[in-house]
Structure 1
Amino acid sequence: MAAAWRGRPWRTAPPAPLPSKLITACFFALLIPILLITEEVAVADALSIGVNYGQIANNLPSPARVSWLLRSMRISKVKLYDADPNVLRAFLGTGVEFVVGIGNEAVPAMVSPAAAQAWLQQHLVPHLRAGARVTCVTVGNEVFKGNDTALQAAVLPAMESVHRALGALGLQGRVNVTTAHSLDIMGVSFPPSAGAFHPAALPHLQPFLGFLSTTRAPFLINCYPYFAYKDDPARVPLEYVLFQPNAGVADPHTGLRYDNMLYAQVDAVYAAIQALGHTDVEVVVSETGWPSRGDPDEPGATPENAGTYIRNLLQRIEAKQGTPLRPAAPVGVYVFALFNENLKPGPASERNYGLFYPDGSPVYNAGVHGYLPPMLVVSNAAQQVVASHCLALFLHVSCKISTCRAWIGWFWIATALAAYLLLTASPLCRRCRHRIVPA
């Protein structure tokens, strides 16, 4: 038998068992279709509320880890203040919808059609082609709060320019264009039915509302009942601003009763819009929140109050409750903010609006819980897949048998895909139980 065996070609020898590294690689390659299916489950039962993802800090987790956190919270709507490519790439395939922003400093340049087209080509189009879900572009933020008249005059022309550029790219109707306003834009906010914009802003707002009405874009307003309480805690009941049981306040003109300040502010904005002849523009609260900490002259800034405000707000939003003026229309809300941002200027409260600390631990009980995965540079599984990929490449070059080369070729492709998914922390692999996430 020994002599007969020595006379046979080497290829008839029994195949050696596959190395454990190859088995690991095959496992991940076969796991991909399952992950493709389960990935969509995260959005199916998503919360209605959105969150602002600010990044004025030097200690925040990577966007890949933030993607884990938000989806574990069942958040499917995120508002950015820029169009950070790292964030948009990290959320590819997650189903999360983004509002991206053009900063105030870039607004005047966007009046130029060429500049608007270039901005979209650089900051938006590549991500949309890759599968990112961007539903809105904000051109500037709270531009009517200051005294920069040149900036204020440029906002609407810049929005129109960006809108036309979107149309030229075939994205008109898919991506809205608007801007976010501070509540300071209101000249009168109580009673809600008497809501009116500040006279200085009227020349800009009349054509602006016409643009929103024509393009079906929302009016974004940043509302913070905390500011009203902080300025006059003796006269503003804490229960009224925290959505807690209280007698409420009646509008003397309509008889509508308001049991919380946020809804009164939203209805005041609706009244101001209607006073300018528009009834078809939706109001969305683009920022609202409560600080968990403040300076000595910032009363009420405590974790307990912040938790109460967010929990009670969340309950109303998830119940799809409308305002007294529009009870059948749920209020769109983006909570401010996801993290405490340690580099924000201003009083202490500005750095303490986050739901989470940068390490992923909750600042207070917000009524919604999330998970920030551990920080790993490159997981063992990723190392094994890369090693298997390199081995497959070596065998493919060395082997002289066509069937063997074909099998190894397919395996090489599978390990290449698995390695890419693992090393880039693609959303396809972020739902697997091993939680393979880069630093």
Structure 2
Amino acid sequence: MFSHAWRWATGLSLVQGHLHVALVTGLVVGLVVLLLAHRDRRWARRRVPLALLAAAVLLGVAQLLLVLTRPFPDGLPWLVPLFVGLGLAGLALAVAGWAGLRWWRRGIAVLAALAVVLGAADGVDAVYRSFPTVASALQLPPYDQVPISRVTTPGPDAPAAPADWTPPRGMPETGALAQVTIPATTSGFGARPAWVYVPPAYRTADRPLLPVWVLLSGQPGGTRDWIDGGQLAHRLDDWAAAHHGLAPVVVMPDALGGETDNPLCLDSALGRSATYLSVDVPAWIGSALQVDPDHAHWAVGGLSYGGTCALQLSVAHPDLFPTFFDVSGQRGPTLGDPTDTVQATFGGNQAAFDAVDPLHELAARRYPQLSAYVAVGQDDDEYRPQAEQVAAALGAAGVSVTTAVLPGGHSWEVWGPALQGALPWLTDHTGLPS
């Protein structure tokens, strides 16, 4: 009984429903309580304005640091600084009103400040939808996680093709997730642990040879992002349930090296992430997993930075990743400013940068062997024009391009549904029966 209650509680949504409403309501109520902590004129006329001014200054400093350091090239939606500012205002009011309060009023102030901070954090989360549930926000182990040894266990000597495979009795109803460190043997890239999803068919003793999809996160981001924000395991479990347990094996490696690192999916002064993703990761997949060795049935995809990276990898290695999925990606690798980008990567050598820039590569030769699925949010004013430019460049280079424009902006409101919408296309292009 306790386990069911725990599963229910940690499965509650943070971006919609009763808990989300309660957290946002707590934010408003907490601010009101903190504003009314004292009844004297000095509090209302001096200390409240000073507290709010302090919160505004802190928010301004934080935004200035983002502009100066540029940990990620994307701008922040206006709701993000708004919620952050409200959280800072709650903390500043709690500190400013601490003196002169009785112990029980201090307890109420702490609870009110906590409610404000939690409500503000939930407000930011509702913008991006990166952590849709309590479990994902707490980074609890996924319910279907298994040791990596159960994924790398050898299967049959002569596995069948998916089209010729018959599900055995006792096949698991769901797939499984496992975490693994993929060695950077050739690249030396400082990658974080990856995640692997295997469908029900793979978990049988007589598994078929399944295709491989490599999915990459945005920046900032982590290797769990497609599992948490994208609900990848649930989406593919549902697909497998309707297709005799068949779905791809999905590997989610680290393309960054750190939450806010930005190696631009290149081999440059910023690190050798391109070699890690095109050499080390495929080598590990081929040696550790029993999957289809035919790269005609492999695909790479990602969101935002990961979508740009998928474009780069597929254009640079069309025989390795002839199919790619790009949702909300950019036109090419960037740190925000073209000059700064070339300087940071190749010491100002524009020709060296152009040689690995996907739009330059697409303009230089044709890629009739590639198939691309390019998706973007209708309200994504920064990335939608870039997606349109990429789709046009791909088409001009002979690539078979499918495009999709979804309701929403630059968030999981678009990225998860984009993957869902691309599933029939991806499975068809990677050799799974549809």
Higher relative contact order (CA 8 A, sep 6+): 1
Is this a same-fold pair by TM over 0.5?
Answer: no
TM superposition score normalised by structure 1: 0.27
TM superposition score normalised by structure 2: 0.27
